[in-house]
Every structure is written in structure tokens, then in C-alpha cells.
Amino acid sequence: MQQTAYAELKRALGDSALVLLEGSAGSGKTTLIKRLIGEVRGTRLTPRDLFSVSTGAAHAALDGPLVRLIEDALARHDLVVFEDFDTLHTILDGPAYVRYRFWAAGMHALLDRIRHEGKRLVFTASDFSASSAPEFDKIPLLTERGARVAIAEPDADEYGFHLQRALGAEALASEDIQRIYEHSPKLNPWQLQMLAGVIRTGGRRDVAFIKEALDKRIAQTNLRLREVEKIELEDLKGFEHIVAELTTHVINPLKADPRFAGLALRPKRGVLLYGPPGTGKTSVGRALAHRMKGKFFLIDGTVAADPASTFYSLVQWNFRQAKRAAPSVVFIDDADVLFQSDRATGLSRYLLTMLDGLESESAGKVAVILTAMNPNHLPPALLRSGRVELWLETSLPDEDARAEMLGKYLKDAPAAFGTYDVTHAAALSEGFNAADIRRLVMDVKALYARDILADRDPRSLGSYFDSAICDIREARELLQQAMHTKLAAGM
């Protein structure tokens, strides 16, 4: 890969006075550059060189020293390479930089001059997409006057090359490397180097250990799994059809199973879980999070409370990391509420772009799952676009499902509780959702505890259930009234 990139770099330098060499962390840009300046009479500069000449300068005066530094180097050399230019670009084209993009003016003049002299300038960058500043395509200087050479992202062979270089040729079997690649196909060479270190010191080389290391040490997610209630997809009562659909259209396609390796399965791009509140949408998310571990990214209301300036960068962060961690899931909880805001227009447009982008990326196996109480509150453009490919409705549990849930929640109750025929409460709780059933059992426990703590003899379990059912019905009634007031008041 480096060979190809090197040839391309040489060709680009033949045509253009300015070349941008892009490659992810650890992809060997410096190696290429060292080889290049050995062949041509050239020199390397880094942000470090800039910092040593900008010492004592005011905060906002990095652009002058930058242009002067490059100019001086070009006076003495035919080729000047400025490395890690993306980090400087983040500052110089940043929203708070007082002389926003001022550097580009100086560079234009400089480029005009060196064109006539036949000299060349190269910038290297590893991560434009991660900076908060605009991406390469939006930097006029580079798009108008520069050529772009990219070092390809590693494939399975490249994984093997990096891991074997660090661990020895015999360390990992090639089918194991293939499985590592399928589990996390978006690692860059830098991360492969970190992974090799973890494998070396971990003392184990089996794929299970390596996958765990990837999920725990290398992956970067924003969800604290220990804060997420442990639920298995199989435990979700009354959700059998949803679990079946999710398994077929999301979970299986995200898996790398040799039995269907040739099928090139892709997950559904957009999945919508919709249904009345309390019918278990978030529970599906919890179960999925435990299944996907480091490959689950959550966008919920906590993002919305951040100031607008970080809101988008956090949303972007999630999508970017999800792509890097692919195959992965982005879970947007309460999407209908999230979209109903001042920032909504921007967000839905962004999401549309993301959903399209996820499709076009060859290895990008990212499934976006949205939950909504009311799909009508989702942006029409999002629904119309057809990017939400799978619609799954969560509904109220029927009597059997209610009985099953009650039984599950009562299973761990203390023996002093006595026995209770759950079918009785199941029959009485017509119209209750999953959250109500859970609440019902907790209320019964609370009523029992109240009597115990007040030194009263506990009543029968049946009578606790009856009064708790009454209370929940009353709360639902009050809710309806409040909603009605709201409607009546035209709010």
C-alpha cells in the first residue's frame, strides 16, 4: 500500500506545486516523506518547528510565523514537507481564531512564486474529518491549488502485516487475523500497534480474548455499560416478533459468521421502533447495548442539554466513532422528542446525510435505530426519504404476556411474600403497558414494606395488588386529564 501511495505522491508532485498526503494514524506517512526527501533535495517541518519560532508571539499570531517558516525553508530547499498540518488547520480555521483563515492569503502568494521556481510543498494530515474545522474539501487553498494523495486504509492483509511485524510471523493464524478484521475492520495502523501490545502483554492469543481487548481497550464508546440494566434480548417478554426482526435484519448482518460470509449481508440502514410510552423501546436498546458492547453508540436527551456549540460535535462524534467501530449500532432514543427543537432542522438534515453516507461506504456496516412514541412527530423529510427501512411497532402486552412479566418480576421476591396467582392481576391490568406492570410489582413491594416498617401485619398479596392496580389506573386517569387540559388550551 505504501508502494502505491509513494508512486501516486511522485506523480502528483509532477503536476502540482502543493500536495496533500493523507493517511490515518500510523499509516506510514513519515516513512514515505523521509524516502521522498532523501531523493529530492527536501526538508521536513512539523508543528513543533512552528512552536519553536512562535514562542512569545501573541495567541492569535500563529499564521505569520507559519508562512515565514515555510518561506524560509523553500528558499533553501526544492521540496518542503509540513507534517501534521491537520492539527494546525484546526486552530487556524477554528471559529475562535481571530485571524480566521488569514494564513491562506500568505500561502497563495507563496504558491504563485514557487510554481515559477519549480519548487514543491507537501502537507501531511491524518485526521481532517475529526477536527471541528471544515474538512479538506472545504479548504479553498487545498481544493483550488492542491492535489490529494491518500494512503489506503488497511485491509485484512495489512492487518496481518502490522500484527505480525509486532508479534512475530507465527503469532496469529491467518484465519484469526481475518476474524479480527471482520470484528473491527476500521482499525488504523496505530490502533493495530496498540492491539499488538495488548496481545503481547496479555499472554493470550485466542480470538475471544482479542475481541474482548478490542471492545474494552481499543473501542471508544459513550455508554457506560455498568449503568445499563442487564437485559438479554431473549428475556423481553412479548417482544418475540421484534427480537426476531432485529436479529434477521440488524444483528445477523452485523455479525461476521463464516457460514454466510459470501452473502455480503448488510443491516437495514434505518430502523424505527415506535409505540406508546412504556412499551419497552428503551429496554430493547438496553439489551442491544449489552449484546453489542463497545459497538453501541447512544444519542439521547443528555446530548440535547449541552450548549448548541457542542451538540453537533457530540452527535458527529457518535457517528464518526460508530463508523470507525463498524459493524456497530447508533441508537437514537426518543428521536421524536429530540427532533422537536430549535436545532431539529439541522439535525434531521444531518441524519439524512449520515444515513446516505452509511450506505455508500463499502465496509460501513452501521445500523441506525430510532425510537419514537409518535412517528408522526419525526421530520417528514426523514420518513419520506425511505431511509427508515424497517418499522417495528411495540405494543401493549396481552393478558398472557402480562402474566408472564408479572411472574418474572415476582420470581425473586422473598418467601415471606407468599404465593399469588398472577393470572388474577394479569386479568385486572387490561391496558397496562410493560412499564406499568413493572411499576405494579414495585408498588406492591413498597406497600408491603410500608406495613412491615410501620410494624403492622402485612395484608394479603392479593389486596396489595388490587390497591396498586387502582392507584396506577388513577395516575393514568390524571395523566389523561392533564393532556386534555393541554389540548383544550391549544398547547
Backbone φ and ψ of 149, nearest 5°: -125, 130
Question: From the CB of 31, what's the least distance to other proteins, in Å?
Answer: 13
Pairing of strands 79-82, 120-125: parallel
Please, which residue, 115 or 217, has the CB nearer to other proteins?
Answer: 217
What is the C-alpha to C-alpha distance for residues 163 and 169, in angstroms, rounded to an integer? 8
Please, which residue, 1 or 413, has the CB nearer to other proteins?
Answer: 413
Question: From the CB of 171, what's the least distance to other proteins, in Å?
Answer: 14
Question: From the CB of 316, what's the least distance to other proteins, in Å?
Answer: 8
Q: Which cell is 236 given?
A: 423481553
Closest alpha carbon to 292 in 228, 371, 241, 359: 228
Contacts of 180 (CB under 8 A, 6+ apart): 159, 163, 172, 195, 207, 210, 211, 214
Question: From the CB of 469, what's the least distance to other proteins, in Å?
Answer: 14
What is the C-alpha to C-alpha distance for residues 141 and 108, in angstroms, rounded to an integer? 7
Q: Which cell is 406 given?
A: 408479572
For 371, the enclosing helix (H) or strand (E) is strand 366-372
Question: From the CB of 190, what's the least distance to other proteins, in Å?
Answer: 6
What is the crossing angle of helices 174-183 and 156-167, to 10°?
Answer: 120
Question: From the CB of 183, what's the least distance to other proteins, in Å?
Answer: 17
Please, which residue, 217 or 424, has the CB nearer to other proteins?
Answer: 217
Please, which residue, 25 or 75, has the CB nearer to other proteins?
Answer: 25
Closest alpha carbon to 286 in 276, 298, 303, 277: 298
What is the C-alpha to C-alpha distance for residues 328 and 308, in angstroms, rounded to an integer? 26
Q: What angle do CA 298, 308, 89 make, to 5 degrees?
A: 95
Question: From the CB of 470, what's the least distance to other proteins, in Å?
Answer: 13
Please, which residue, 470 or 479, has the CB nearer to other proteins?
Answer: 479
3-state class of 64 per DSSP? Answer: helix
Question: From the CB of 205, what's the least distance to other proteins, in Å?
Answer: 14
DSSP letter (8 states) at residue 260: G
Question: From the CB of 301, what's the least distance to other proteins, in Å?
Answer: 3
Please, which residue, 312 or 391, has the CB nearer to other proteins?
Answer: 312
CB 148 within 8 A of CB 9: no
What is the chain's length? 491
Q: What is the 3-state secondary structure (H, E, C) of 132-161?
A: CCCCHHHCHHHHHHEEEEECCCCCHHHHHH
- Gyration radius of the chain over CA positions: 29
What is the C-alpha to C-alpha distance for residues 83 and 45, in angstroms, rounded to an integer? 6
Closest alpha carbon to 234 in 278, 296, 283: 283
CB contact burial 189-208 (16+ within 10 A = b; e otherwise): bebbbbbbebbeeeeeeebe
Question: From the CB of 381, what's the least distance to other proteins, in Å?
Answer: 19
What is the C-alpha to C-alpha distance for residues 80 and 18, in angstroms, rounded to an integer? 10
Please, which residue, 7 or 308, has the CB nearer to other proteins?
Answer: 308
Question: From the CB of 341, what's the least distance to other proteins, in Å?
Answer: 4
Please, which residue, 150 or 218, has the CB nearer to other proteins?
Answer: 218
Question: From the CB of 92, what's the least distance to other proteins, in Å?
Answer: 9
